Structure formats: C-alpha cells, structure tokens
Amino acid sequence: MCEIHGLVVDEQYRNMGFGKLLIEKATEWCSDKQVDRFRLRCNIKRTETQRFYTSAGFNEIKQQKVYRSTSEL
C-alpha cells in the first residue's frame, strides 16, 4: 500500500495544477511498483483540501481524532 501523510502546495502556487500533478505522479509510481492500494490522510479541519482530494478521485473511508495527555510525563 502507498500512503501520503501530507501533501502541501505553497499557497502562492495553489489552484495551478501542481497538487493534481503530484497526485498523478504518485499514482503512476504506485502502479509502476504494482501496488494496488493508494490512500492519503488529511486533517478534518482542512475542508478545502478534502474537496480537492475528492475531485482527484479519492473517497473518504473514515474520520479520526487524536488525543494528547494533559498530564506531565
């Protein structure tokens, strides 16, 4: 399985096709390696980014929360 943990395009270069190109190249790489699953992660707060991933052909499969201890270690 291939997984993107973070894909960030600098704000001044957004909406110029760079994110789409990066996804296309990553998809090609997965195919070349004969990997049959490709997924990514996105913070639930990043709604604009979620729309981008949906338009790039990804489907949401789960939502997750992360918790941090408030006690000192």
Looking up residue 37, the CATH number of its domain turns out to be: 3.40.630.30
Q: Cα–Cα distances in Å, from 35 out to 1, 29, 50?
A: 6, 9, 23
The per-residue pLDDT of the chain, averaged, comes to: 92
Task: Kindly report the pTM of this predicted structure.
Answer: 0.78
Pairwise CA distance, residues 2 & 32, whole Å:
12
* pLDDT at residue 40, as a whole number: 92
For 49, the domain range is 2-55
Residue 67 within a domain: no
19-51 pLDDT, tens per residue?
999 999 999 999 999 998 999 999 889 999 999
What is the number of helices (H) and of strands (E) in the chain? Answer: 2, 2
Please tell me the total count of domains within the chain. 1
